[in-house]
Amino acid sequence: MATAPQQQPLPLFYNGLEPLSSELHADYRIRPATSAPFLGAQHAIPVTIDEFALAQRFMPIVFSAGDDAIPIALMGLNEGVNVFIDAEGKLTEENFYVPAYVRRYPYMLARLRPDAEELSLCFDPTSDTIGRFDEGEPLFENGQPSAVTKNILAFNEQFEQAGARTAAFMTELREAELLMDGEVSIQHDSNPQPFVYRGFQMVNEEKLQDLRGDQLRKMSKSGMLPLLYAHLFSLSLMRDIFARQMASGKMPQPNLNA
């Protein structure tokens, strides 16, 4: 999930990447984000397998389309719709799990050169949470990373490690040939025809149930089986997201582009 600054397409939410430097950013401070306007128009957020247990309580977890599928949590069923963020970019729920991908912004670990082995802590310079402010926590003290910077680095390192575990999980999932094209049909009184959502992948539950006992035991011991069922259980929340869209006046369209 690391991206080389200025050489590969920037990840979701990022408008730029700049390496954090004790020389160039010695007087930089960070202030807490009171809103996330960049999240308001995003309906699908990448998640790691470490987050499945928490995320599945609030959002459906599906898999993106294509051969390089990744797990994503749906905060809306249509492009540009996020039912958990208001017009000011603030969460509408008090007790809600915010995916780590969102919480790490505006920071991320990235390779400064394509051939570099090490990842460097970078940030999005367009973010209004980091800069030369009079208030906020300093990023450096006496030329050394402050405690807050060390915590940011540790969080990003944990995120990268979770990303590696997720990549291994997806490889195992593809090898087991358990993914299939997803489809959810929701009927509503406002429309004579059901709303049908496609454009994502999900686990084939019938194939999962038909696996041999030794395969199931292997998945259970590796921790993969609980993750698959967390995903399957979360799919029931599709209808909750649909209802939220209807209640907020964000009329769903009959096509999910996750």
Give the predicted TM-score (pTM) of the model.
0.89
The CA radius of gyration of the chain, in Å to the nearest whole number, is 20
pLDDT in tens, 159-169: 999 999 999 99
Domain spans in the chain, listed from the N-terminal domain onward: 18-247
pLDDT at 131: 96
**E-only strand ranges, the chain:** 18-19, 29-30, 44-46, 61-64, 71-74, 107-110, 120-123, 130-131, 137-138, 140-141, 144-145, 179-181, 184-186, 195-197, 200-203
* Tokens standing for residue 65: 């389309």
Q: Which residue(s) pair with 181 in the sheet? A: 201
Could you report the per-residue pLDDT of 73-110, keeping only the tens digit for each? 999 998 899 999 998 999 999 899 999 999 999 999 99
Decide if pLDDT at 258 tops 80: no
